[in-house]
Structure 1
Amino acid sequence: MELTAQDSKRIKEIELEIFKVFIDITKKLEVKYYIIEGSLLGAVRHKGFIPWDDDIDVGLPRKDYERFISEAQKYLPDYYFLQTYETDPEYPLNFAKIRDSRTTYIETLMNNKRMNHGVFFDIFPLDFYPENEKEQNVLDKKVTIYSKRIRDTLNVPQPTSFKSKVFSLIARLLAKDTQTACRKKDDIYTSLSSSDLMGNMSSAYKRRAVVPLDWYGEGVELEFEGLKVNAPVEYDKFLTQIYGDYMQFPPPEKRKSHHFTDVIDFDNPYIKYIK
């Protein structure tokens, strides 16, 4: 199901309202956040959303992230839910979302999950990453088995080869459910106490999203849809590493949202659609 222009506009409005609340809570908790990846690109190139995208992505250094997810819910309105794999056991991801529980936004990828499916705002932990390539490879391989366990529960085409089936069996033996798999992934992600590299381990850009720690720094203020937001101090280097010539627009055929949805309803809560 493709989003209509009106759907996209309404999603952006809801996300911006969540963003305002999020920023207010980070100030109360004195935790640092950065706008990252596609949202950072939007802030620099468009001073807001990328026109054909409807995401807001922020990242917090792990210690700040942990404080936020442990304390933020008490500052949120009742209709906002801070979703993690701990607060919503069928939620299968290693980053948090703030969901507007008054709405419905069921992604095809997770349409089989009995969890909160409201319109959301993404919050990523930023973790230290090994500086040595061999250690990077070891960490990535450790994570793979638990990522496989999670993928096997999603509504996506699954490989049918014998090797893949054996891999799935091993994954099930190591993690009984997605919540366990997420915990084990986080144990791996947080195994380093320091490094000169830091990144979003859940990023679709993988190692391109890992950058020198000082690229984040204290941050610099940018505009995002009229809001003043915190961005990595070396945002030009950050964006160049991920996107190359990031001021160049992609060809028209690639200017599409990467979200695929089954149900969008801004007037009714997701619980109406949970089977």
Structure 2
Amino acid sequence: MVELKLKEVQRVALDLLIEFDKICKENSFRYSLGGGTLLGAIRHGGFIPWDDDIDIMMPRVDYEKFLEYCHHDNCGFDCLSLNYTENYFDLFTRISDRRTYLVDDSREIDYKMGVSIDIFPIDGLGNNDSIALRNFNKGRFKRELLVASKWKKYFRSETRSILFEPVRMLLFLMSRFVNKQKLCQSVDATCQLNDFETSHFAGCISGVYREKEIMLASTFKNYQTIQFEGYDFDIILDYDAYLTKHYGNYMQLPPIEQQVSHHRAQYYWR
């Protein structure tokens, strides 16, 4: 087995992004770089140097159209999603490179996957901030339970307080008895209760930043292009509001000891 080095993983992921962008441009699908990928685009002009993943955000209607496109057309990658991939139980979609494969001892993966990029739907959350928070928290326990159901074994969180560990342990134990498919479908349906186009607030309900994901819906409706690793891709126009809410002073580099990848996975050439 030949393991991919960091730069190789980044190059494969970039190739996926280039193909994804081409499909979106040809079909007028709205999208934006998101999360750490958007941060990398603004702060570094490309990947965060110690990171290798790519995150995408799409308004729900464009997200569903993209999934339909991939289901009916022969793409140059595998599209892994809840409705079209057996044993896939995530609330977001991955597009995966067919030349590589993933080894991850921390979670159960019952489908073929290589280097991939994550595509998150942006859903409506209602028309004022209190309603948005209430809608965001609908199904929150089920979302946490769904995450725990994919752990192969219990492990300490690298991002949450030790005080939360008893809750994580309880979630892990409970998750051993759930039907992951029914749970995932139930949570996904809850995420889609509010229309994106008519909501004043919206967000990535399945995102890792919890309440920080709640934004004005207008944040996700206007776009510009930016260079990422020498290629032009779309980002939200109001990226400053998004990045500030997620990361605070996002232009400041983290301490050197934090400049490491938090991923446990390894990728290999087939």
TM-score, structure 2 normalization: 0.85
2: CA distance between counterparts of 1:165 and 1:31?
37
Q: 1:118-175, CA deviations, whole angstroms, 9 ceiling, x for partnerless residues?
A: 11011110111243426623642423125314523422417788x9379828x95xxx
Are the equivalent residues in 2 in contact too, given 1:35–1:231 (CA < 8 A)?
yes
| TM-fit CA distance, 1:201 | 1.3
2:160 paired residue number:
none
Tell me the residue number matched to 1:264.
267
Q: Which residue of 2 aligns with 1:43?
A: 41
2:219 matched to 1:215?
yes
Distance (whole Å) between structure 1 residues aligned to residue 47 and residue 255 of structure 2 = 18
Residue aligning to 2:125: 129
Is 2:123 the counterpart of 1:120?
Answer: no
Matches within 5 A, 1:229-268: 229-261=233-265, 263-266=266-269, 268=270
Equivalent position of 1:55 in the other structure? 53
Q: Within 5 Å, give how 1:176-195 maps onto structure 2.
A: 177-193=179-195, 194-195=198-199
TM-score by length of 1: 0.84
Find the partner of 1:151 among 148, 153, 158: 148
Q: 1:242-264 CA deviation, whole Å, 9 max, x = no partner?
A: 11111100001111112102x42
Q: Tell me the distance in 2 between the aligned counterparts of 1:41 and 1:166.
A: 32
2:107 matches 1:101: no
Worse-matched range after superposition: 188-197 or 150-159: 150-159
Other-structure match for 1:273: none
Partner letter of residue 29 of structure 1?
N
Identity of aligned residues (%): 27
User: Residues 149, 237 of structure 1: CA spacing in aligned structure 2 closer, same or farther, 3 A cutoff?
Assistant: closer
Task: Confirm or deny that 1:204 pairs with 2:208.
Answer: yes
Contact 2:149 2:172 in 1 (8 A): no
Give distance in 2, aligned partners of 1:54 and 1:23: 18
Deviation at 1:90, TM superposition (A): 1.9
Aligned residue type for 1:7: K
* Partner SS, residue 59 of structure 1: strand
User: 1:272: which partner in 2?
Assistant: none
- The Cα offsets for residues 221-247 of structure 1, whole Å up to 9 and x where unpaired, read as 111001111111111111111111111
Q: CA deviation at 1:24?
A: 0.7
Distance 1:233 1:56 in 2: 19
Q: Work out which of the residue numbers 68, 71, 74 in structure 1 matches 2:69.
A: 71
2:65 & 2:95 partners in 1: Cα distance? 15
The alpha-carbon distance between structure 1 residues 240 and 226, as it changes in their structure 2 partners (threshold 3 A), is: same
Whole-angstrom distance in 2 between the partners of 1:149 and 1:120? 21
